[in-house]
Amino acid sequence: MRDPWTGSAYGSALLAGRGRLFLRGANGWLLPLELDRWCAQADSCDLAVLRRCEGPVLDIGCGAGRLVEALTVRGHRALGVDVCSSAVASTLRRGGQARLGSVFDALPCEGHWGTALLIDGNIGIGGFPPALLERTRQLVRPGGLLLVETAADHIDARHRVHIDDGIGRRGAAFPWASVGRRALVRYALTAGWTARDHWTTSRGRHFSALAAVP
């Protein structure tokens, strides 16, 4: 079955560099997708996160490629991975490197990445954060980093969502998760990570840095 993120609405928005889409759950839960920001260049919040990166960087769910682009410009070896072919095309167009596929597929340099990124809510990939954290631990070298953008601190929820254009058209349903800092730390401890740092930006974005247990 075709992955929902490869649908025409999302892919077209990435290639156009703008769009108005949402993740919509059956229970009324709604999350706007910040496509304009994702398709722009990395902003000051992004760059503050990227300054923490160590060694080669794997951007999981790289989207339009702004983080891979910024890392490449700053001299990091960086690779984006995304299930959407338009995301890969956009990242390549921006001068970055990207691979089409899922984080759960076989990937280059497993166990040797210095840093992995789960930004823009990508801790929700797959709808089951413990499995995603275990997988990222397989990808990152001992002592390496996982930089995660989370929801508000108290949130720990599972959703069945569609990509929705706001005027009644929607794609196939798929699992997603919303995870705050407390839940992230709890899941991380059982997946081979330890919390190193947490911070909230002036724009209300929440981040955590996890270190891979040797």
d(CA 83, CA 210): 24
Question: Which residue segments constitute the domains of the chain, with CATH numbers given?
Answer: 42-160+174-212 (3.40.50.150)
Structure tokens at 95: 């001068």
Query: Residue 171 pLDDT more than 90?
Result: no
- Give the largest Cα separation in the chain, rounded: 49
Query: Residue 2 pLDDT more than 60?
Result: no
In terms of C-beta distances under 8 Å and separation of at least 24 residues, what long-range contacts does 73-76 make, across chains too?
74/50, 76/50
pLDDT tier, 6 (very low <50, low <70, confident <90, very high otherwise): low
For the stretch 40-59, pLDDT in tens is: 999 999 999 999 999 999 99
**100 burial type by CB count under 10 A (0-12 exposed, 13-18 middle, 19+ buried):** middle
